Structure 1
Amino acid sequence: MTSAMFPIYSLSEVRTVLRRKDMLDVVREAIVRHSLGEVVAAPSGELLFQQPPGDCHIRFGYFRGGAVFVVKIAMGFYENPARGLETNNGLMLVFDAQTGKIIAVLNDEGWLTSWRTAAAGALAAKAGAPSQITALGILGSGHQAEHQARWASEILGTDQVVIWGRDPAKASRLVQSLCHQGFSARTAATVEEVFEHCNVVITCTPSTQAIVPVSAVKRGTHIVAMGADSLGKQELDPRILGLARVIMTDDRQQCAQRGELAHAIAAGLDTSKAEVSLGQVLAGNGAGRISDDDVTVADLTGLAAQDIAIATLAIELIQSTPLGRSVQG
């Protein structure tokens, strides 16, 4: 913790108190509460960069009746690894919802966003998964790809993971890391090979064009599309959404503006009969899959509700520790 007029908690302090189950629980609740209209949040702000490629997202909001409001800044600069730097960075500011006074800064370096994204992806994977999992496929080889492999495989109950990355060397390193963690992981040479062996596939790349052809998708496949969270990003051939029996969206309006749903709408496809809120599915008020033969898609663009929930949890847990209590005192 850094000395200041208000506490500034570091990444190591945040990581010390947070547990995966707790994060899954609060992110699930946040997605459900968002679907019920219990979140006050302005549209996400974003800055897009071309040279070098990157983006910065700003989300802010509060739960109705909640004690705090949260402002989150998260960014990704995709050429950073070549410079020996982390791709992601960011922080969260937590304020008193009654007075506006700042409570704390979570200098999490973007990891809280990564964690809540991993939790949302895992929950969405489970929500639409078929009854029998052949293997989990991951398109991507960055840190979010590793998070998704770990979180989603646990919630799905499989250790079989197939990785495809645009950089084969990075994909191989990720597979080595997963194998060291006890997974049965391997690389795939093509996207089509991933879909040949996996009936749950999570896409988490910064691609600006479709990398998943409709011809690769077999009956019974569930896709969690996470990469298209900014204008111009795309991972799926829009026709995949056209043949999907269920399309779960974390926020319908956001997905129609910047998610995979936006590309389907632009292509003139009518997806309205397939669309359902992910929050309603997680609450048990909707179906993420009708039959094991269905093609299903979860389109995730990220929610302020998730940031509010995980920041609130982090503050509560930190302030319940001896260090946190001494700072508050």
Structure 2
Amino acid sequence: MNLSLYDLNSLRTALRREDVLRVVRDACIRHAEHDVICAKGGELMFQNPPGDCHIRFGYFRGAPIFVVKLAMGFYENPSKGLATNNGLMLVFSSETGKLVAILNDEGWLTSWRTAAAGALAAKAGAPSQITALGIIGTGHQAEQQALWAAHSLAASSIIIWGRDFNKANRLAEKLKGNALTTRAVETVEDVFQHCNVVITCTPSTQPVVPLWAVQPGTHIVAMGSDSLGKQELDPHILARARIIMTDDHRQCAERGELAHALRAGLITETADVSLGLVLAGNRPGRISDLDITVADLTGLAAQDIAIATLAVELARPSLSHAYDHIPLAI
């Protein structure tokens, strides 16, 4: 079959939020059930200017394709009039090794699958009544997390904190165009005073959330610590948490919030449960509304495989006919 090239516009047109949530949820479950073949991802870290490049690859057992994904984030790009994120996904036949599709998504597919994972994790551990959704961070993923998690939680009130209050305020104003009540606050403590679901999505290398700010009943989704050296939470928060969910234990123990708590001797290697098992209904994400709970997310190759497969199916439905003998369904 011929090589297909999809640009950002065609992908945006084809994909819908509910479809992405569905396949990312299934991907998390399949990862937890060891139904994904993938090796440890690679990464490059840059200091001047600050940025990173993540490389992930893998396939679902028995699937007709495998996926290689590159995703970049350069955090000073907005000051240069450029998008923070970039990247692409390569789709190959697992029967012949032939390149069958290039998804030139400019990092958008990674952004959406990350937003979906955050929204799913937010709902998995949320208390029964949501007071407000808190967002720690002001960048592109902070915006996406606010939109996706608010949708999944049916939350209409969002409170935002960032190191630069003006950026936080600009994001709050931008989000108001989505029928949301939003405001920026001056301190992280202000977020936790008013919100019982908080998503952290910063590139911080030092804790920005102190233990004493976290109230009983709070659910935290930590997104930012996805590379060596990154950290957003005081590790004592994980020691206080009744439930810790991880998307992948090994990754989180190496580079997530879990890693910092483990190295400090505050928790044991068996302290966490798989987010995929929680999403499948096999483990609880919360026991009591007074629990402090944490979801530690470092990103899964399974999520990239899932959204790439979905994109190929929806952007060019006729492509699936070439694989009538091996269904593309996830």
Q: Which of the five TM-score ranges fits, normalised by the shorter chain?
A: over 0.9
Distance 2:155 2:109 in 1: 25
1:231–1:257 Cα contact (<8 Å) kept: yes
Aligned to 1:159: 156
Q: CA deviation at 1:273?
A: 5.5
Q: CA deviation at 1:314?
A: 0.2
Distance 1:172 1:192 in 2: 17
In the alignment, does 2:57 pair up with 1:36? Answer: no
Which residue among 286, 291, 296 is the counterpart of 1:289?
286
In the alignment, does 2:219 pair up with 1:222? Answer: yes
Which residue among 300, 303, 312 is the counterpart of 2:300?
303
Which residue identity is paired with 1:38?
D
Which residue identity is paired with 1:99?
T
Aligned residues: 322
Aligned to 1:59: 56
Aligned to 1:89: 86
**Unaligned 5+ residue runs, structure 1?**
none
Q: CA deviation at 1:148?
A: 0.7
Distance 1:299 1:293 in 2: 19
1:244–1:274 Cα contact (<8 Å) kept: no
**Unaligned 5+ residue runs, structure 2?**
324-330
Give secondary structure in 1 for the equivalent of 2:232.
Answer: strand
Return 261-270 or 105-114, whichever deviates more.
Answer: 261-270
Distance 1:89 1:167 in 2: 23
Return 264-273 or 134-143, whichever deviates more.
Answer: 264-273
Distance 1:47 1:142 in 2: 20
Aligned to 1:27: 24
Which residue identity is paired with 2:133?
L
Which 4+ runs in 1 deviate beyond 3 A? 271-274
1:191–1:212 Cα contact (<8 Å) kept: yes
Distance 1:273 1:297 in 2: 15
Aligned to 2:248: 251
Aligned to 2:7: 10
1:39–1:63 Cα contact (<8 Å) kept: yes
Give secondary structure in 1 for the equivalent of 2:127.
Answer: coil
Q: CA deviation at 1:6?
A: 2.0
Q: CA deviation at 1:39?
A: 0.3
The Cα RMSD (Å) is: 1.6
Distance 1:304 1:320 in 2: 23
Distance 1:175 1:152 in 2: 15
The two structures have a TM-score, normalised by structure 2, of 0.95
Give secondary structure in 2 for the equivalent of 1:237.
Answer: coil
Which residue identity is paired with 1:164?
W
Give secondary structure in 1 for the equivalent of 2:206.
Answer: strand
Distance 1:67 1:159 in 2: 41
Distance 1:184 1:237 in 2: 29
Give secondary structure in 1 for the equivalent of 2:92.
Answer: strand
Residues 256-267 of structure 1 mapped to structure 2, 5 A cutoff: 256-267=253-264
Aligned to 1:131: 128
Give secondary structure in 2 for the equivalent of 1:306.
Answer: helix
Deviations 1:88-142 (A, max 9, x none): 0000000001110011100000000000000000000000000000000000111
Residues 97-136 of structure 1 mapped to structure 2, 5 A cutoff: 97-136=94-133
Q: CA deviation at 1:271?
A: 4.1
Give secondary structure in 2 for the equivalent of 1:55.
Answer: strand
Residues 45-56 of structure 1 mapped to structure 2, 5 A cutoff: 45-56=42-53
Aligned to 2:231: 234
In the alignment, does 2:173 pair up with 1:184? Answer: no
Identity %: 68
In the alignment, does 2:68 pair up with 1:71? Answer: yes
Q: 1:152 to 1:239 in 2, by over 3 A?
A: same
Return 85-94 or 177-186, whichever deviates more.
Answer: 177-186
Distance 2:309 2:163 in 1: 36
Q: CA deviation at 1:274?
A: 3.8
Give secondary structure in 2 for the equivalent of 1:284.
Answer: coil
In the alignment, does 2:145 pair up with 1:148? Answer: yes
Give secondary structure in 2 for the equivalent of 1:212.
Answer: coil
2:238–2:267 Cα contact (<8 Å) kept: no
Deviations 1:302-327 (A, max 9, x none): 00000000000000111117xx79x9
1:241–1:271 Cα contact (<8 Å) kept: no
Distance 1:307 1:77 in 2: 20
2:159–2:191 Cα contact (<8 Å) kept: yes
Q: CA deviation at 1:272?
A: 4.5
Residues 164-179 of structure 1 mapped to structure 2, 5 A cutoff: 164-179=161-176
2:262–2:269 Cα contact (<8 Å) kept: no
1:242–1:271 Cα contact (<8 Å) kept: no
